[in-house]
Structure 1
């Protein structure tokens, strides 16, 4: 599977997420029920946002959204725009500092989802 947004490449200008960037986001995070505790920038240049608690691979557990929506819920994610491909940022709680590490085998694996099957939600 290729990137969900092949026309956007990293590193980002000004080390900031570009407006309209798409990400695969767990609904528990996008609905505001759980904080973001894991963010992966995968080797295909996709961004994956997880609560790091629930299984993101369950049916309807994740969707493709504009990252802007998640940034409004948690502005601390802005500092992760410099996260290199193949890395994961995790934290123990919403106010804890981010820890960055390489992710040879990411814990957050999203089943193949095509953007046309799940259009982005409005921010």
Structure 2
């Protein structure tokens, strides 16, 4: 498990083969991982493209199984807690990073649409390539 600190961010973690990942039903059944979330508790979550946050009950897998099935997941950049990474192609290595919504004055967007995340970098998505 790679943990480091970036200035102005929470601790940053990279996905390790020894990590456990909560995966959606579709990912569990073999759909490609298109969105990865490192929640505020430090838990990894993986989703396919257009599914709501939890479509059915989540399953728990070792990250090693996901990496074995899709080696391009190794391109996932380290994330601060409460951040989401998305990619446009199933084998893509360019990820867009978003920060989870934390505003105490504005209402929280509907989480099922993925709108509970705002752009990582001052209103625009920040692309990162491994």
Question: Counterpart of 1:24?
Answer: 22
Q: 1:72 to 1:92 in 2, by over 3 A?
A: same
Please report the TM-score for the alignment, with normalisation by the length of structure 1: 0.63
Could you tell me which of 61, 65, 81 is aligned with 1:65? 61
SS at match of 1:35: coil
Q: 1:45 to 1:108 in 2, by over 3 A?
A: farther
Distance, in Å, in 2 between the alignment partners of 1:58 and 1:95 is 22
Structure number with greater CO (CA < 8 Å, separation at least 6) is: 1
Post-superposition, which runs of at least 4 consecutive aligned residues in structure 1 deviate over 2 A? 15-20, 54-60, 105-109
Question: Counterpart of 1:82?
Answer: 78
SS at match of 1:78: helix
Calculate the aligned-residue CA RMSD, in Å: 2.8
Structure with the larger strand share: 2
Structure 2: segments with no counterpart, 5+ residues? 5-12, 102-108, 117-130
Which is greater in Rg?
Answer: 2
Could you tell me which of 3, 26, 31 is aligned with 1:11? 3
Could you tell me which of 40, 44, 48 is aligned with 2:45? 48
Could you tell me which of 84, 91, 105 is aligned with 1:95? 91
SS at match of 2:98: strand
Q: Aligned-pair distance for 1:95?
A: 3.0
Distance, in Å, in 1 between the alignment partners of 2:27 and 2:55 is 14
Is the CA contact 1:30–1:70 (under 8 Å) kept in the aligned structure 2?
no
Please report the TM-score for the alignment, with normalisation by the length of structure 2: 0.60
